[in-house]
Structure 1
Amino acid sequence: MARAGLTAERLTQAGAELADEIGFDRVTVSELARRFGVKVASLYSHVRNSQDLRTRIALAALEEMADRAAEALAGRAGKDALAAFADVYRDYAREHPGRYAAAQLRLDPQAAAASAGVRHAQMTRAVLRGYDLPESEQVHAVRLLGSVFHGYVSLELGGGFSHSAPDTQETWARTIDALDSLLRNWPRP
């Protein structure tokens, strides 16, 4: 019999909160069971194993970020859309470092196809439409933006910018300016 109140959704949410607290790499079914004060076996009727839990957390994080990005992009275009989109990723990573790490989890093809990752790609391409990039160049631009956003956030969260001036917000703004300029002047093959 399942323990009252435990559901896959509740465990996923608790796992996401745990990831923010202790780090995504340390989230396990055992650790979650300790948090709920139950035996590990009590959770197996809701999640298959730690990998299933981690995948559920990743999917939830992707969904949360996609919802934030959709709201931030509404009615925006060009540099305004680019900055709003970038800020969603940076702000989410700073507020939810464990969930952000979860969103980087490599998903199996079936989970990836059903995930909000598809929405992220669509929104990134919507931002790029404001720059009139040919479709053949968009995949390169999508990869560039993802690399810059994730790279900057990872370095910032890891303390990589804490030893020098200027403030990281100033550098972030300059990074968005540089990306905007690059996208407006995208090199043709």
Structure 2
Amino acid sequence: MARAGVTVERLAEAAADLADEVGLENVTVSELARRFGVKDASLYSHIRNAHELRVRVALLALAELADRAAAALAGRAGKDALAAFADAYRDYAREHPGRYAAAQVELDPETIRASAAGRHAEMMRAILRGYALAEPAQTDAVRLLGSTFHGFVSLERSGGFSHHPRSADASWRRILDTLDVALRTWPS
């Protein structure tokens, strides 16, 4: 890339692309500087440190994931909405492993409120309205869904399902069926 045109947004996009290529843990300011054809110090006029860069990649990934999930949810309700959201989540993690890893970066509450990070929980809550769950059951259900989706995706990404004859896709469908039943019959 040419020296001209380095912006915070372009740095975050380049870091996200690099994370997808080599893993988030291997994204460095030095490698990004090489890709932009500048010295490391030049990038520090746009970002404070590597942590800020990771946060910016996290925010980019969360916005992309929220947009994808929102598009998948449009016009859907109940189990259909649950499956659409879950599939969008899983597909994003498969297509963008570095970005997905960045989306797990811990963010401070103010950053969450000012970003797309809060949209995920709100979309899950919208799905759960179709199951008529009131608080605190709704919060418990959001946590169940989030931990199930993240757990499955993490195990799948690490090869945890590769040595079994049953396909991960078949298990994914069965898990979504089970979650639907659990949500419809949530204990009082």
On whether the aligned pair clears a TM of 0.5, the verdict is yes
Q: Shift in Å at residue 136 of structure 1?
A: 2.2
Amino acid at match of 1:67: D
Partner of 1:106: 106
For 2:99 and 2:92, the matched residues in 1 are separated by 8
Amino acid at match of 1:40: D
Partner of 2:47: 47
Partner of 2:59: 59
For 1:30 and 1:50, the matched residues in 2 are separated by 10
For 1:151, what is the secondary structure of its paired residue? Answer: helix
Root mean square deviation, CA, Å: 0.9
Write the mapping of 1:3-152 to structure 2, written as runs, cut at 5 A.
3-152=3-152
For 1:109 and 1:139, the matched residues in 2 are separated by 17
- Checking the alignment, whether the CA contact within 8 Å between 2:72 and 2:88 is kept in structure 1 is yes
Give the fraction of aligned pairs with identical amino acids, expressed as a percent: 68
Amino acid at match of 1:91: D
Return 154-163 or 24-33, whichever deviates more: 24-33
Return 26-35 or 5-14, whichever deviates more: 26-35
Partner of 1:178: 178
4+ runs deviating over 3 angstroms: none
Extract unaligned runs of 5+ from structure 2: none
Return 133-142 or 84-93, whichever deviates more: 133-142
- Checking the alignment, whether the CA contact within 8 Å between 2:6 and 2:36 is kept in structure 1 is no
For 2:129 and 2:135, the matched residues in 1 are separated by 9
- Checking the alignment, whether the CA contact within 8 Å between 2:78 and 2:130 is kept in structure 1 is yes
Aligned length: 186
Amino acid at match of 2:12: T
Return 24-33 or 13-22, whichever deviates more: 24-33
Q: Under a length normalisation based on structure 2, what TM-score does the superposition of the two structures give?
A: 0.96
